Amino acid sequence: MTEISWDRRSFLKASLAGMLVLLGGTPALSKIIENNHFPEGRLTLFNIHNREKLTVTFRNPDGEYDLEALRAIDGILRCHYTEDVMKIDIRTIEYLNRIDKELGGGHEIHIISGFRSPAYNDLLRREGRHVAGNSLHMKGKAIDIAIPQVGIETVRRTALSLHSGGVGFYPGPGFVHIDSGPFRTW
C-alpha cells in the first residue's frame, strides 16, 4: 500500500483541480493547474442597489483563498432588502470569475441580485416577480449579473459555454442569472 503525503500546496492544487472538474473545467485548465498557475481570482463588483463597488483578489496564483476577500464578496452580495449577509458558495464565485476571464477579464460586474433573504424572496413572490420559492439565491448559490461593457447576450453565451451551472436569461430587465446548481438553462 502506498502512503500519500500531502503538503499544503499539493492539497490546494488537488482541491482546486477537483473543483474545476466539477465546474466543467477543460483539459487546458488542467494543464494550467499542473504547472502551478491558476487563473487570476480577481473580480470587480458593483452593487446597483447600494452603489457599492469592490475590487478584490480572492485567490492567489498558488490557489490559496483569501478569507477576508471572500467575506468582502459576501458583504457586497448581501440582501439589499434586509442587509442580511450569507456565505456565498465558492463555486458560484469561481463560475463568475471564469465568465469574466473568458470575456477578457477586468470587467466591472453589476450585481442585480446576490444573496436574497427568505423575507425578500417571499416579498418578490407576493409581488408576482416569478422567483422560485426555493431559490438558490437564498442559499448563497446564485447571482444575477450584467456586464455593461459586454452586453447580456454575450454574457449569456459565455456562461452557457462553460456548462458550470444554471444560466437564466432575462433580456427585459437586462441581466443573466448564474448559479452553482446543476447545468440547466431558461
User: How far is it, in rounded angstroms, from Cα 33 to Cα 149?
Assistant: 29
Mean pLDDT calculated for residue range 2-25:
53
Mean pLDDT across the chain, nearest whole number? 87
Cβ-based burial of 142 (10 A; exposed 0-12, middle 13-18, buried ≥19): buried
Among residues of the chain, what percentage have pLDDT more than 90?
Answer: 73
What is the predicted pLDDT for the residue at 26? 46
User: How far is it, in rounded angstroms, from Cα 50 to Cα 67?
Assistant: 23
User: How far is it, in rounded angstroms, from Cα 129 to Cα 43?
Assistant: 29
What is the predicted pLDDT for the residue at 17? 57
What is the predicted pLDDT for the residue at 148? 96
Cβ-based burial of 46 (10 A; exposed 0-12, middle 13-18, buried ≥19): middle
Looking at the domain that runs over 39-185, which CATH code has it been given? 3.30.1380.10
pTM, entire model: 0.80
Domain ranges of the chain: 39-185
3-class SS letters over 65-120: ECHHHHHHHHHHCCCCCCCCCCCCCHHHHHHHHHHHHHCCCCCEEEEEECCCCHHH
8-state DSSP, 132: -
What is the predicted pLDDT for the residue at 20? 53
Contact 176, 167 (CB under 8 A): yes
List, for residues 128-182, the tens digit of each pLDDT value. 888 888 899 999 999 999 999 999 999 999 999 999 999 999 999 999 999 999 9
Instruction: Please tell me which of 56-65, 67-76, 118-127 the model is most confident about, judged by mean pLDDT.
Output: 67-76
C-alpha cell at 145: 449579473
For residue 162, the surrounding DSSP H or E stretch is helix 152-162
List, for residues 19-43, the tens digit of each pLDDT value. 555 555 544 444 444 445 567 899 9
Kindly report the backbone phi and psi dihedral angles of residue 114, in degrees, each rounded to the nearest multiple of 5, phi listed first: -110, -115
List, for residues 62-74, the tens digit of each pLDDT value. 899 999 999 999 9
What is the predicted pLDDT for the residue at 6? 52
